Amino acid sequence: MDRTPVWFLRQAGRYMQEYREVRKHHTLVEICKQPDLAAEVTITAAEKLGVDAAIIFADLLLPLEPMGLDFEFQAGEGPVVHHPVRTAADVFALRTDRTGDLAYVARAIEKVASHFRHRLGIIGFCGAPYTLASYMIEGGGSRNYIHTKQMMYRDSLSWRSLLDKIVVVLTEYCRSRCRLAPRSSKSSTAGWVRSRSPTTRIMPSRRRNAWCARCSRWACR
């Protein structure tokens, strides 16, 4: 690698007048779900910043919906999952066969790739299994991850099943996107796990997710 990569979670944001104009009429999730809009804000930001790669406009929580969990972004609150996953029955009810519902992200990638061709690289990202699990269990962001820890330590079978289901969905999600364009991908992990990581409960799924991401990147070289 001849350059040190610098990561911004999103290139497009409220610092851009063009983005603010789009947000006047659409929510963040609506932009993600409309390939023309997602591609537009991705392209505008990358060209305005003059960077080496365009970061696809998306959100970490998009895989939650095809798994059966509705969420929204509430002003001042961030993402809110309306029916948190707290029991074994909740975990059992989660779907893993609807990843195709996220095809709108792939269509946005196609549009961005067609626009830039070989002029810029394209970066995609997804949440690590623990990150998605914590949002699903807590019902949103958290400082202490109380409910997540309760499931992790008191119901390890449900915890492992939840992470396994998330990895299945993320694997197909990443592979479907990387077949189209991204030359790099990044997964993000919730804060608590960084400093006090119970490795036997988190790392197996983390390693599986990282392996699948590497396979996806190789496939699009």
Residues carrying an active site annotation: 10, 14, 23, 59, 135
Asked if residues 44 and 62 have their Cβ atoms less than 8 Å apart, the reply is: no
Cα–Cα distance measured from residue 113 to residue 99, given in angstroms and rounded to the nearest whole number: 22
The 8-class DSSP code of residue 43 comes to: H
Instruction: Judge whether 36 and 22 are in contact, CB under 8 Å.
Output: no
Q: Any idea of the CA torsion for 108, 137, 214, 8, to the nearest 10 degrees? A: 60
Question: What is the residue-wise DSSP string for 117-173?
Answer: TTSSEEEEEEE-HHHHHHHHHHSB--SS-HHHHHHHHH-HHHHHHHHHHHHHHHHHH
Helix (H) or strand (E) holding 49: helix 35-49
Torsion from C-alpha of 201, 207, 209, 210, nearest 10 degrees = 150
First to last CA, the chain: 15
Contact between 106 and 177 under an 8 Å Cβ cutoff? The reply is yes
